[in-house]
Amino acid sequence: MTETEQPAVIEGTVDRLIYIGPNGHTVALLDSGSAPAPIVIIGPEPSIPLAGVQPGEYLRLEGRWSQHPRHGPQLRVTVCERVWPAAIQTIRRYLGSGLIRGIGAKIAASIVGKFGDQSLKVIDAEPDRLLNVHLIGPERLRKIKEAWTGQKNVHELMALLASLGLPATLALQIHQAFGQDSLTVVREDPYRLIDEVKGFGFLRADKIALASGVPERSEERIRAALLYVLDDQTYARGHCHISQKVLFHNTARVLRLSDELIRRAAPVLDVLRADGRIVIEDLPGPANTLRRAVSPRRLHQAEVTLADHARRLLQTPSRIAPRVRNAPQDSREAAQLHRSQQQAVHMALTSTLSVLTGGPGCGKTFTVRVIVERARAANLRLALAAPTGRAAKRLAQATGLPATTVHRLLRDRAADNDVLFDPDDLTGTDLIVVDEASMLDTHLASKLFKAVPDGAHLLLVGDIDQLPSIGPGRVLADLLAVLEVPRVRLTQIFRQAEGSPIITNAHAVRHGRRPATAEGVFHFLRMGHPREIADTIVGLVAERLPNYYGAKPLTDIQVLSPGRRTEVGTEELNTRLRDRLNPAHESKPERADANRLFRLGDRITTVTNNYDKGSAGIFNGSLGTVTAIDHEAGTLTVSIENEAIPYDFNELDQLLHAYAITVHRSQGSEYPIVVMPLTTSHSNMLERNLLYTAITRAQRAVVLVGQDEALTRALETARAWQRSTALTHRIAYSNGHADTSGQLSFAG
């Protein structure tokens, strides 16, 4: 690529967005009105001048021309200014692009027909005059005013953020959180952004604060840094607490101040404790030592509540055991059970709290089915649940009974009169079965255990060798460290599973052994450079695997990556797979949101539970397809299980592209074919249980693509995702036993 020395200044309308990178790097087409074809414009890092631009915006650009060997002339933009177009035709296109909610192509034509080249000035300074335009009434006028004011606010925010070297795309999230107060918050209280704007961490807020004159050693800054480090170590990394020593050390590193200065700031920590933001306590460490630990208050309360109710369940007599003993039994069913499965059935129906664990092919599903059948024979009232919607659906298919997410199971009737289960219902429930229990984090498990009535039974079913929860804690592992918790681990691989290379290799990986290739079922394609790996994965999903298996790329093949970033992370793979499987076309509307571009036909997944969506709520992990994008209405519609679910443009942070997802996000789901990149660029994530989890998601075939060194590193790393938790200690302590040395894990 060659670049001329002559700078260029051009104006025009953004015709289409071609690419949006994870950091806001943008490639778009600009219609200048004079060139014979749209001009390719590029907003490169580090300044990322085009970040956040939308189709329809009118821009004045400064930059330098470059010549790409394949794509021809391109303008590499250095300065981007959003301006109002002057020509009537351009104004009509600008207003009709969908940038301003409430104005579509037809109304744009009416406005320009009424006010001509003064249209934008009227909207800005005299918006009430729009009531004289056909099709505009009071309600539509209100929407137009809000959208116009919001757009101006966002553009001012973009300019402010760009001046500080921060991604302009953050302006939209800030505006969604604070509305018309956005600029005031950014300038006067930037540390609020950390708690109230998704993706706005301490480092970005701190950059704004320092530029606004906040002293480097101020109490306000140290307070924000302490909370940031605590949040990063708990909610972001899965710990339930962090040692005070590590908290001070990491805070000093973040602030680039000395450890000693931070230690002198200990009074700030005392203020946070007095304000109820944190809890400071002594917890047992190695060799019966005590360690000063710091927790976010909500997380501490959740762990304490979980421990109290775990103890309650262990100590409360069963109210259903006599009914189960007197219920009829199916002798054919008993004959099919292995001895360990029989023990599991007996345990679940006689113990108020119990755990059933085991790997793939060991009969967990069949055992749960028998437990459910025995419970129904005894006329017990059942509740079946799992942490995600997809896992709940699989549980329902396995048992033949309705199942729901744990969130919905616990939902309060006061919030929704139409919920499937609520606390009043659980009061009469006899047996609660929760599948995929390794996904339960401390907060969710706390609510679950608290809702179980006295004398009822709670059975947790899960694979202890899979990844732990995304949220803080390692609930299943910590419960199994309590000797009083009844448990059965199924280890016998049954005949129908013995011949499955996927199951055989999953167990091999669990023990640190290399998986064996098997024609048509298990493949390892060895290659070195991440770019080559990414190219191969795109080719596999788009052509080779569909041709070989007769599979559909968008429904039968799932790419699972260890992480989000790097050339083989989900962000880059999603962009490349989307452009191959669902390429841009003038017939496919698009919507840019932050650093992502949604296109008609995109495969997406939901990342939150939203009970207000659809006929029965939408759950985290649901897969769907973008079926409509309406810029005038400001909505994007997703088809999920044949139901059209509209999302407002300000709700798009609830969606992710799902051509490639992380292994963590795949838990509780299964896919016909799994493709997984393996590179040392994900070295911090390459662990045995991550690879094991990915393999066990596949039903028909697994294709590993990458470096032999990365596979070896994953097999040799068995840290079991050490997390600083105190659940085991708290359960023992609540029974008067404080000696739990060796049962706690600490981060540093």
For 6-55, how does the pLDDT look when each residue is reduced to its tens digit (9 = 90+)?
Answer: 678 999 998 888 888 766 788 899 988 888 888 899 987 666 778 778 88
Residues 557-583 have pLDDT tens digits of 999 999 888 889 999 999 999 999 999
Whether 741 shows a pLDDT value over 60: the answer reads no
Confidence (pTM): 0.83
- Per-residue pLDDT, 332: 66
Query: Rounded mean pLDDT of 180-192?
Result: 89
Whether 481 shows a pLDDT value over 60: the answer reads yes
**Length of the chain measured in residues:** 748
**Angle at CA of residue 728, ends 725 and 731, nearest 5°:** 125
Query: Rounded mean pLDDT of 338-343?
Result: 90
Indicate the DSSP class of residue 514: P
- Per-residue pLDDT, 265: 79
- Per-residue pLDDT, 738: 36
Residues 382-392 have pLDDT tens digits of 999 998 888 88
Indicate the DSSP class of residue 544: I
Which of 595, 694, 567 lies closest to 43, judged by CA?
A: 595
- Per-residue pLDDT, 748: 29
From CA 59, how far away is CA 135, in angstroms rounded? 29
Q: 70-84, 404-418, 653-667: lowest mean pLDDT where?
A: 404-418
Contact 205, 193 (CB under 8 A): yes
- Per-residue pLDDT, 474: 93
For residue 61, the one-letter residue type is: L
Torsion-angle region of residue 473: left (phi > 0), alpha (psi -120 to 50) or beta?
Answer: left
Whether 468 shows a pLDDT value over 60: the answer reads yes
Which of 587, 489, 580, 484 lies closest to 540, judged by CA?
A: 580
Whether 344 shows a pLDDT value over 80: the answer reads yes
Please list the residues that pair with 702 across neighbouring strands: 522, 674
Query: Rounded mean pLDDT of 542-558?
Result: 94
Model confidence band, residue 495 (pLDDT cutoffs 50, 70, 90):
low
Q: 308-312, 435-439, 620-624, 657-661: lowest mean pLDDT where?
A: 620-624
From CA 163, how far away is CA 625, in angstroms rounded? 38
- Per-residue pLDDT, 337: 85
Q: Name the strand (E) or helix (H) holding 533.
A: helix 530-539
Model confidence band, residue 747 (pLDDT cutoffs 50, 70, 90):
very low
Strand 2-20, strand 26-31: pairing: antiparallel
Could you give the C-alpha distances from 364 to 293, 386, 487, 691, in angstroms and in order?
A: 38, 14, 13, 21
Could you give the C-alpha distances from 346 to 30, 323, 488, 561, in angstroms and in order?
A: 69, 13, 10, 39
Query: Rounded mean pLDDT of 202-208?
Result: 90
- Per-residue pLDDT, 23: 67
From CA 454, how far away is CA 488, in angstroms rounded? 23
- Per-residue pLDDT, 69: 81
The better pLDDT of the pair 131, 408 is held by: 131
Whether 420 shows a pLDDT value over 50: the answer reads no
- Per-residue pLDDT, 565: 84
Whether 496 shows a pLDDT value over 70: the answer reads no
Query: Rounded mean pLDDT of 214-229?
Result: 92
- Per-residue pLDDT, 308: 95
Model confidence band, residue 413 (pLDDT cutoffs 50, 70, 90):
very low
Residues 234-260 have pLDDT tens digits of 988 899 999 999 999 999 999 988 877
Query: Rounded mean pLDDT of 512-530?
Result: 92
Could you give the C-alpha distances from 699 to 48, 131, 158, 674, 675, in angstroms and in order?
A: 42, 59, 46, 8, 12
Query: Rounded mean pLDDT of 454-474?
Result: 92
Residues 191-203 have pLDDT tens digits of 999 888 877 789 8
Query: Taking the CB of residue 65, how many other CB atoms lie within 10 A of it?
Result: 17
Query: Rounded mean pLDDT of 482-501?
Result: 82
Using DSSP, state whether 284 is helix, strand or coil. Answer: strand
Query: Rounded mean pLDDT of 358-385?
Result: 91
**Angle at CA of residue 494, ends 488 and 498, nearest 5°:** 130
Query: DSSP letter string over 61-107?
Result: EEEEEEEETTTEEEEEEEEEEE----SHHHHHHHHTTS-STT--HHH
CA dihedral for 719, 720, 725, 727, sign (positive or negative): negative
Query: Rounded mean pLDDT of 633-649?
Result: 90
Strand 58-68, strand 278-284: pairing: unpaired
Query: Rounded mean pLDDT of 475-487?
Result: 94
Model confidence band, residue 3 (pLDDT cutoffs 50, 70, 90):
low
Backbone angles phi, psi at 76, to 5 degrees: -90, 105
Contact 303, 725 (CB under 8 A): yes
- Per-residue pLDDT, 578: 93
HEC profile of 706-720: ECHHHHHHHHHCCCC
